[in-house]
C-alpha cells in the first residue's frame, strides 16, 4: 500500500450515531464507540458539529512523522468540511504526546477548523495538552473511568461491539482453519476452468447468489462458496458483486464477506477481502476496512482495487459520496 502513513494507521469514518460529548471524559468514552475498538498509542480526532469524520493514526516516536500526522489530519478535517475538532492522544508517552500536540496546533492554525480541546489519556488519567492549560491539568491530570460511563453503557445497550484493541478487531476476520480446508477441498473437486470458461454466466450467477444471500442474511454452503471465490478471480465478475453494494445493504455485505474472508484459501483471498473492506468503509467502519486490506496486502500487495480503497481511507473520504457503479459498465451482465 502506498502513502505516507503505513497501512492500518489511519481510520476515516462516519459515526453511525450522534454522540453528545461535553467533557473530556465524554470524549475519551466516545472514541472507542466511534472507532469500534479501544485505541492505544494513538492520535484520535473527532469532529464536532458539521462534518462527522473521525480519524485515528498511530502516535509517532520522532520527526518528521509528528508533522506528517498533523498535516494528514488537518487535510482530512478540511476535506470533510469539519467546523471544530477535538483530539485525544491515547498514550503513556507524555513527551511524544506533547510534541504531537504542538504539531497539530501548528497544522490546524493554517485551516478554518477550530481545535476546541487536546488531551492525553493514559488509561487512568487525562492530561491537558493545550499550551495555556492550568499547570495542574498538564502535570497531575484528572482520574477517569469510562467503564460505567453513560456513553459506554448506551453503546452496549444499542448493541454496538467495541473491541479491546485493534488486534482483537483484526482477529474477527482471521482464517477459520477447518472452514478454509473445506473450501479448498471443494475448489479442488471442481474445475476452475468450468467456472471461468463462461464469464457472462458466472457474472449473472454471482449477482443472483450474492444478492439473495445478502437480502436473506444467509451464508453460502461450501460448494457455492468455492464457486463464488473462484469466479471472483475474474475482475469483471468481481465488479458485478462490488456494484451491488449500497449504503442500505452495506452492513449485510459486511457480514456476508466476513464469512467468506474467514473461509477463503489464501490464493483466492484478495477479492473477498477487498469486498469486505469496501462494505466496511461504506457502512462507516474504517478500522475494519483497514483490517481487511491488511489481509489482502499480505497475499497481494499490488491488488489494484485494494490500493484504491487504501487511498480513500488515508484521505478519510466520506462514504456518503459514493454513487455506485453504473450498470452499463458491467458489460458481462449484458453478454449473451
What is the DSSP code string of 50-94?
A: S--EEEEEE--SSTTHHHHHHHHHHHHHHHTT-SEEEEEEE-S-H
The CA–CA distances, whole Å, from 137 to 118, 131, 259, 273, 290 equal 12, 11, 47, 44, 35
Q: What one-character-per-residue DSSP string does 15-29 give?
A: -SS-----SHHHHHH
The mean pLDDT of 216-233, rounded to a whole number, is: 95
**pLDDT value at residue 110:** 95
290 falls in which pLDDT band (50, 70, 90)? Answer: very high
The mean pLDDT of 159-176, rounded to a whole number, is: 88
Percent of the chain's residues with pLDDT above 90: 63
Residue 170 scores a pLDDT above 70: yes
Q: For residue 190, which of 162, 224, 152 has the smallest C-alpha distance?
A: 224
Q: For residue 283, which of 256, 318, 242 has the smallest C-alpha distance?
A: 318
Condensed to tens digits (0 to 9), the pLDDT of residues 3-35 reads 322 323 334 444 444 566 678 999 999 899 888
**pLDDT value at residue 321:** 75
Q: Round the CA-based radius of gyration of the chain to a whole number and report it.
A: 22
45 falls in which pLDDT band (50, 70, 90)? Answer: very high
The mean pLDDT of 215-237, rounded to a whole number, is: 95
Q: Quote the CA–CA distance of 5 and 59 in Å, as a whole number.
A: 11
Q: Quote the CA–CA distance of 319 and 228 in Å, as a whole number.
A: 26
**pLDDT value at residue 16:** 42
**pLDDT value at residue 164:** 85
Asked if 243 and 325 touch (Cβ cutoff 8 Å), the reply is yes
Asked if 31 and 12 touch (Cβ cutoff 8 Å), the reply is no
Residue 153 scores a pLDDT above 80: no
**pLDDT value at residue 157:** 57
Q: Quote the CA–CA distance of 101 and 119 in Å, as a whole number.
A: 9
156 falls in which pLDDT band (50, 70, 90)? Answer: low
Asked if 35 and 51 touch (Cβ cutoff 8 Å), the reply is no
Asked if 228 and 204 touch (Cβ cutoff 8 Å), the reply is no
Q: To the nearest 10°, the Cα dihedral for 144, 148, 151, 152?
A: 110
| Superfamily (CATH H level) for 11-166 | Cytidine Deaminase, domain 2 (3.40.140.10)
Asked if 33 and 13 touch (Cβ cutoff 8 Å), the reply is no
147 falls in which pLDDT band (50, 70, 90)? Answer: confident
**pLDDT value at residue 334:** 57
Please tell me the number of Cα atoms within 13 Å of 177 on its side-chain side.
Answer: 0
Chain centre distance of CA 283:
9
Domain boundaries, the chain: 11-166, 172-334
Asked if 313 and 281 touch (Cβ cutoff 8 Å), the reply is yes
- Verify cis geometry, omega within 30 degrees of 0, for the bond prior to 124: no
- At 29, give phi and psi (nearest 5°): -75, -30
163 falls in which pLDDT band (50, 70, 90)? Answer: confident
Asked if 260 and 226 touch (Cβ cutoff 8 Å), the reply is no
Average pLDDT, the chain: 87
Residue 203 scores a pLDDT above 70: yes
Q: Quote the CA–CA distance of 144 and 119 in Å, as a whole number.
A: 13
Asked if 11 and 290 touch (Cβ cutoff 8 Å), the reply is yes
Amino acid at each position: 500500500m502506498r502513502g505516507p502513513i503505513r497501512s492500518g494507521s489511519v481510520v476515516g469514518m462516519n459515526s453511525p450515531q450522534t454522540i453528545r460529548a461535553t467533557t473530556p471524559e465524554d470524549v475519551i468514552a466516545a472514541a472507542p464507540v466511534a472507532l469500534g475498538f479501544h485505541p492505544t498509542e494513538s492520535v484520535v480526532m473527532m469532529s464536532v458539529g458539521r462534518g462527522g469524520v473521525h480519524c485515528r493514526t498511530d502516535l509517532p516516536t520522532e520527526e518528521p512523522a509528528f508533522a506528517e500526522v498533523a498535516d494528514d489530519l488537518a487535510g482530512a478535517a478540511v476535506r470533510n468540511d469539519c467546523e471544530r475538532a477535538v483530539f485525544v492522544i491515547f498514550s503513556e508517552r507524555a513527551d511524544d504526546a506533547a510534541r504531537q500536540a504542538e504539531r497539530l496546533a501548528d497544522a490546524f492554525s493554517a485551516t478554518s477548523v477550530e481545535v476546541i480541546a487536546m488531551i492525553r489519556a493514559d488509561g487512568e488519567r487525562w492530561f491537558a495538552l493545550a499550551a495555556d492549560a492550568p499547570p495542574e491539568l498538564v502535570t497531575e491530570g484528572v482520574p477517569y473511568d469510562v467503564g460505567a460511563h453513560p456513553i459506554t453503557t448506551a453503546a452496549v445497550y444499542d448493541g454496538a461491539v467495541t473491541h479491546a484493541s485493534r488486534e482483537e478487531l483484526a482477529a474477527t476476520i482471521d482464517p477459520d482453519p477447518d472452514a478454509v480446508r473445506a473450501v479448498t477441498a471443494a475448489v479442488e473437486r471442481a474445475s476452475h476452468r468450468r467456472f471461468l470458461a463462461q464469464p457472462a454466466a458466472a457474472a449473472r450467477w454471482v449477482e443472483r447468489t450474492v444478492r439473495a444471500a445478502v437480502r436473506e442474511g444467509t451464508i453460502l454452503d461450501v460448494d457455492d462458496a468455492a464457486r463464488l471465490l473462484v469466479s471472483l478471480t475474474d475482475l469483471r465478475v468481481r465488479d458485478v458483486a462490488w456494484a451491488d453494494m449500497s449504503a442500505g445493504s452495506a452492513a449485510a455485505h459486511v457480514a456476508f464477506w466476513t464469512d467468506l474472508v474467514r473461509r477463503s484459501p489464501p490464493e483466492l483471498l484478495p477479492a473477498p477481502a477487498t469486498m469486505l473492506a469496501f462494505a466496511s468503509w461504506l457502512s462507516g467502519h474504517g478500522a475494519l476496512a483497514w483490517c481487511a486490506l491488511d489481509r489482502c496486502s499480505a497475499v497481494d500487495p499490488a491488488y489494484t482495487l485494494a490500493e484504491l480503497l487504501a487511498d480513500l481511507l488515508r484521505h478519510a473520504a466520506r462514504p456518503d459520496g459514493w454513487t455506485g457503479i453504473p450498470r452499463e459498465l458491467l458489460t458481462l451482465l449484458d453478454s449473451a
